[in-house]
Amino acid sequence: MTINLSPQELQQANSYAEKIDLNNNAVIMQYAAPVQKRITAFSAQALEIAAGNASTEAVSIINQLIEKITAFAEPRKGFLGLSRKTSEDWREEYHSISDDIKQLSLQLESLQFQLYKDMGLYQQMTQRNRSARQELMLYLQAGKTRLETAQKLELPMMEARYNDSLAPQDQLRLTGYQGQVAQFQKRLQDLQVTKIISDQFEAQLDLMYQTAHSLSEKLQTTITHTIPLWQNQVSIALGLDRIKQARQVDQAMHQIELSDPAERIAKLSDELLQDMDHKKTELTELSPTDD
């Protein structure tokens, strides 16, 4: 069992080791129990956060958004196959899904805020876990020192003193203390497992943080780029169609109207004069002739 401590922490652990009473069963059972409980509580809290499914929900909403935008961009299916969308088609489809996309966008913003909160919490939990693990390592070092003292000094001295004793109480003292030392050794092994849990927990927190960070960036891109770009493309499509319609109207007006008003008046005057000459001819033909 390798424990890395600073010289100051090592001195603190050695000082604490001297205070561990292996004759007290309660001391052995509760050794480092508070810090052990804190570490296990962190794991439960992380599990509760992960069960919130903020990341899963965000991915689901992004997929819904992509499906709607993709469906909007596809050409319509007609009786004889695919056909281009008219401006009215664009407008109808835009109005039908714009509210959905706005709602999805609001949900993405809410989830992004939740992911930011989760990331901050992951960082806090990482620091708290590291602090608790460092405290646990002090307990482990102190326990290791105390166990070595018991195994290498105290037990050999007691064995040399009581093995040859015929007094039953001496044998009870020896076997009792051997049992206490063995129990303390198991307690240290249990704490070592807790340290492994703490190490794994920090790796898990780092993975959860990186996942939330990556997803929050995707949400930011979707909110600030994908949706506005889609709206801009729809606006361009509608604008180009209006320009096309305006040109068609302009061409039609040129076909039915003359460009020069003076030319139009002259044409009307010619038509009137021609009509008057025609009427004079008809009157001449109808008037009686001299015999």
Looking at residue 204, which CATH number applies to its domain? 1.10.287
Work out the pLDDT band at 179, boundaries 50, 70, 90. very high
Question: What is the mean predicted confidence (pLDDT) over 27-49?
Answer: 87
What pLDDT shows up at residue 273?
A: 64
Question: What is the mean predicted confidence (pLDDT) over 20-36?
Answer: 94
* Residue 288 identity (one-letter amino acid): P
- Asked whether residue 103 is assigned to any structural domain, the reply reads yes
| Residue 115 or 273, more confident | 115
> What confidence tens digit (pLDDT) does each residue in 115-138 have?
888 889 889 999 999 999 999 999
Work out the pLDDT band at 105, boundaries 50, 70, 90. confident
- Asked whether residue 287 is assigned to any structural domain, the reply reads no
Work out the pLDDT band at 258, boundaries 50, 70, 90. very low
Rg (C-alpha) for the chain, rounded Å, is: 46
> How many folded domains does the chain comprise?
1
- Asked whether residue 148 is assigned to any structural domain, the reply reads yes
Work out the pLDDT band at 78, boundaries 50, 70, 90. very low
Question: What is the mean predicted confidence (pLDDT) over 155-167?
Answer: 84
Question: What is the mean predicted confidence (pLDDT) over 89-93?
Answer: 68
What pLDDT shows up at residue 267?
A: 62
Residue 66, pLDDT above cutoff 50: yes
> What's the mean per-residue pLDDT of the chain?
79
What pLDDT shows up at residue 83?
A: 45
Question: How far is it, in rounded angstroms, from Cα 137 to Cα 131?
Answer: 10
pTM, two decimal places: 0.68
Residue 286, pLDDT above cutoff 60: no
- Asked whether residue 278 is assigned to any structural domain, the reply reads no
Range of the domain at 132: 7-259
What pLDDT shows up at residue 163?
A: 78
Residue 176, pLDDT above cutoff 80: yes
Question: How far is it, in rounded angstroms, from Cα 27 to Cα 120?
Answer: 37
- Asked whether residue 290 is assigned to any structural domain, the reply reads no
Q: What is the DSSP string of 209-253?
A: HHHHHHHHHHHHHIIIIIHHHHHHHHHHHHHHHHHHHHHHHHHHH
- Asked whether residue 283 is assigned to any structural domain, the reply reads no
| Residue 95 or 16, more confident | 16
- Asked whether residue 89 is assigned to any structural domain, the reply reads yes
Question: What is the mean predicted confidence (pLDDT) over 176-194?
Answer: 95
What pLDDT shows up at residue 147?
A: 95
Question: What is the mean predicted confidence (pLDDT) over 189-193?
Answer: 95
Question: What is the mean predicted confidence (pLDDT) over 163-184?
Answer: 87
Helix (H, G, I), strand (E, B) or coil at 35: helix
Work out the pLDDT band at 112, boundaries 50, 70, 90. confident
Work out the pLDDT band at 178, boundaries 50, 70, 90. very high
Work out the pLDDT band at 198, boundaries 50, 70, 90. very high
> What confidence tens digit (pLDDT) does each residue in 219-253 have?
888 888 877 877 777 777 666 666 666 666 566 55
Task: Kindly report the backbone phi and psi dihedral angles of residue 83, in degrees, each rounded to the nearest multiple of 5, phi listed first.
Answer: -140, 155
Q: What is the DSSP string of 75-127?
A: PEEETTEEEPPPHHHHHHHHHHHHHHHHHHHHHHHHHHHHHHHHHHHHHHHHH
- Asked whether residue 66 is assigned to any structural domain, the reply reads yes
Work out the pLDDT band at 31, boundaries 50, 70, 90. very high
